[in-house]
Amino acid sequence: MTDRAWEELVDRFDQRFGLKNFHKKTEPVEDNHKLTKTLETIEFSHDGNDFRVVRITTPLVVDRKTFYHRTGQSDHSQNIYDETETSHRVVFYKQAPSGDWEEISPESLLS
């Protein structure tokens, strides 16, 4: 999802439901602490339920190296990142009665 599409999505949720919270944070990529990923989060309520939408922006994975034991079994793998290009992923969550956030499909917001 491009920056413009994300901004339009945030605006639509704000106009339709009103945003309760919006925040942005940066943290290191799990397998390469020299690189960072950005998490942009919006929260809103609809029909008495709380929802969260998170956009995760990470450096683009261009290759994956797999390291093997002498026995031929895979030991671990390492991602190779492009430091100039990024990848975006949007994840939707609904708050369960227990207070935990459960991942949902975007289509479930329409019903």
Pick from 69, 56, 54: nearest CA to 10: 54
Structure tokens at 75: 């030991």
Q: Tell me which residues of the chain have a pLDDT lower than 50.
A: none
- Taking only the tens place, the pLDDT of each residue in 11-35 is 999 999 899 999 999 999 988 889 9
pLDDT score, position 58? 94
Residues 6+ apart with CB under 8 A from 71: none
Q: Which domain holds residue 29?
A: 3-109
Specify the pTM: 0.83
User: Do residues 91 and 78 make contact, with C-beta atoms less than 8 angstroms apart?
Assistant: no
User: Do residues 104 and 94 make contact, with C-beta atoms less than 8 angstroms apart?
Assistant: yes
pLDDT score, position 111? 63
> Per the structure, how many domains does the chain have?
1
